[in-house]
Structure 1
Amino acid sequence: MSSSVPPPPESVIPPEAAAPVSPVSVTVGAVEHSVDFVRPRLRARAARRAALYAGVQINGAPHLGTNVMQTAAFLLARAARDRLGVRADLRFGALDNAPYDTRVCPRTGTAYTRSYHHALGQAGIADLVKRFYGGLFDALTALTGVPYTVETYTRQQESPAFREEFLASLGRWEELRWTLAPSSGRVPVGFPCPACGWLQKSGEHTELLDADARRARFAAVCLDHGRYEIDVRPDGGAWLGLTTLHRNLVKERLADRDEALPVIVKGADWAAGCRLLDEAFLCFPGARPPARVFTPVVLSASGAKLSKSLMREGRAELSPDTPPWMLDATRWPGTTERYAVTLHRLVSLMLSDPRHFERGYTTPEVARLLRESDTI
């Protein structure tokens, strides 16, 4: 999926009256705009291009927090272009590896999952991406002039370079596993059964049989089909089911192969996880963690970030006046273009000062900012 690049309009500059009230940031005096965090790495690498990477979960309709992160990625890319003088584009990863359904072995209690990819297939995934993100991303491109692409995890993990990085991680496994899971050292890897597509969620019975730089062989167990063995090679083999941190490590090392400077854009709730990722990078001689920018999170009344899982469980503790569209973007009452303008104005407010960007926002505070900026 790609997009054209029409010129951005001038009518979405936020008014001063709607500015947030934020505490002094620890970066005051050092950082004038949040995209400036990227400048040292650009200079060190002498890069003329920047590629901003962000993940797109497709396991249901996005909530406002997800769309704030994505809108911030567009605005940061535009700021990199205009402020830092580099070409910048966005690369969204559509995570079709999320569990679609789960089964539990009645005898052992072992959980087995099937991913969105294996349940819906390529066409079904493409429909979900288009439904939840296509129109919004196109509208944000129209507002910012920033191009984007979307690539599914399934397609990405099929590439020889991704598999080479996965095999390289196995070569440093004894050290690496304690950085990715410092409490236990256990980092499961899953491989769907070739007969049905189900895999053990926690990889209890997955075993690495042998590995080198060009091939790894694993054994795993299926609830219906018993034991099976699987090969992973740069030119093909098994679909890779990796834990969140392991998958991000492989993806970020892959991104660093590009001539464009990789910039990882994630919500601020990822800060703790990225501490572990940065430690994992240091397991590879000469490797440096990528440039990172953390975006504001949207919080419920309890202070917890908006979360699909908490909302499904009815434990999100949202205020009674939270508009339904903040929880489910498909319930926005207007057009997609108007939603994009609203997000653009909101995130522009957040980016107007680093102290506004380095904090979280409750849903009532978001409603106030939007009301005072007269966008809804």
Structure 2
Amino acid sequence: MALDHPATTPAQKPVAVPANPRFSSGPCAKPPVFSLDKLSDAALGRSHRAAVGKAKLKAAIEETRAILGVPAEYRIGIVPASDTGAVEMAMWSLLGARPCTMIAWESFGAGWVTDAVKQLKLDAKVMTAEYGRIVDLATVDFDTDVVFTWNGTTSGVRVPNGDAIPADRAGLTICDATSAAFAQDLPWDKLDVTTFSWQKVMGGEAAHGMLILSPRAVERLESYTPAWPMPKIFRMTKGGKLIEGIFVGETINTPSMLAVEDYLVALDWGKSIGGLPALMARANANAQAIFEFCDARDWIDNLAEDPATRSNTSVCLKFTDPRIVDGAGFAKAVAKRLEAEGVALDIGAYRDAPAGLRIWCGATVETADIEAMLPWLDWAFHAEIAAQADAA
């Protein structure tokens, strides 16, 4: 709960500025050690099917497994079209075998609902929650196939843990974890399909998705043929058997070897700082700095209503000052002021989300930069309140 804080207190323009003002939620800030010369070993101008290309792709898969702690029996594949492509591949390939439940509490989850209901035309049960809230997972029937996001990138609301997912479920869990992987502890035994993209927590380049399949998901792929036509780019089986090559670096289409090298650099950085525990700790520290800032002020608050569901990556904020007349206009004006000063870039709320701000706090962001940016947010708020009063 926010403390009593005089909303009329003026804020002086700060002097210190973040060393890196990039707080975009995707593509996200590069790792702190990044420089272009670190990509000099990229297999440019070489076939991804040549030995050097396949080795790079396989290394990306195995380093992902090592850092995330993905069980050895799970398959990991690099697929086209970012996280979206990975989710679509899973939905088109796996859904339809049994009843399904679609869960959404933000815009990307709502997009998966649309795909299931309007494109695949499944008679799915749809469960939704408003921005800032989450569906009660204890009420979900996990004997159905369940599609959900782990961390709502556009709402700042995340699943607190996997306790509600039963080990003896009959259905598959298909989890979009793009803004959770590498920053949150994903319970692999509760997830049958997990997807993410390189450009979120690891600050990699866009366009490539990661698809992680449990043995249960593989069994479904090899025993079920969907009723609808399958585009070539979605096909993961041939002759009723999994195309194993996809999961050792033999990608479906041509990947960017420059982007692959960039991801390898990010993975090497993650490993060098201590792996997943260190990456999670960095994201937690970043988010906590913002939480404490909000707790000390009565004009701003976390969009996530329950502290247990607050994201530590895509931290979404709402302005609560009663003097604000036009919420969307005010939030945009504050974000514009911060960008004009070069202290916070791309922090406006997602276009479908409630008016406010969204500050990326993933592991590639330095806590010192968050701490340097927050006084500027204080200044921008008061400057915009004053401007609003002058215009009235």
TM-score, length-scaled by structure 1: 0.28
Higher strand share: 1
